Amino acid sequence: MTTAPDNIETFCIRGITHQGKTFRPGDWGERLMGVITLYVGERQPGLHVASTRLAMPVVEAGVKCLIVCGELRRVCPDAFDFVMRFARDNALPVEVRVRPRDEAPQSALAQITFGAV
């Protein structure tokens, strides 16, 4: 999917399989974010956990999810492909979300994480 430069694209990987089962282990989002961090080399000194501005584990409606910034596709295509294959191989639904850059994000976390203006 190609988005206009004035749009922000994110991908929400939901921790409920297509068969309706909760995906395990329970910290899969944090682990996957750690893998993304290794790919893009954004590990920050002094932090004991791997984190990146390109992915954020969240809970939506009681379901653990990983929000992946569409910028990952440009910054590190291999990491983006890995994450999408992970979702496919584990039967995890991926929701593509596109919003205008000037539209307020749904949460302050999204604003901080994905650089909304």
- Predicted pLDDT at 8: 85
Q: What is d(CA 69, CA 94) in angstroms, rounded to the nearest whole number?
A: 12
DSSP letters spanning the chain? ----TTEEEEEEEESB-TTSPBPSSTTHHHHHHHHHHHHHT-PPTT-SS--BTTEEEEEETTEEEEEEETHHHHH-HHHHHHHHHHHHHTT--EEEEEEETTSPPSSHHHHHHHT--
State percent of the chain over pLDDT 70: 74
Classify domain 7-114 by CATH number: 3.30.70.2340
- Predicted pLDDT at 111: 40
Domain ranges for the chain, please list them. 7-114
Give 39's pLDDT tier (boundaries 50, 70, 90): confident
Give 19's pLDDT tier (boundaries 50, 70, 90): very high
- Predicted pLDDT at 100: 81
- Predicted pLDDT at 49: 54
**Residue 72 and residue 40 in contact, taking contact as beta carbons nearer than 8 Å:** yes
Average pLDDT over residues 30-56: 77
36-40, 53-57, 63-67: range with lowest mean pLDDT: 36-40
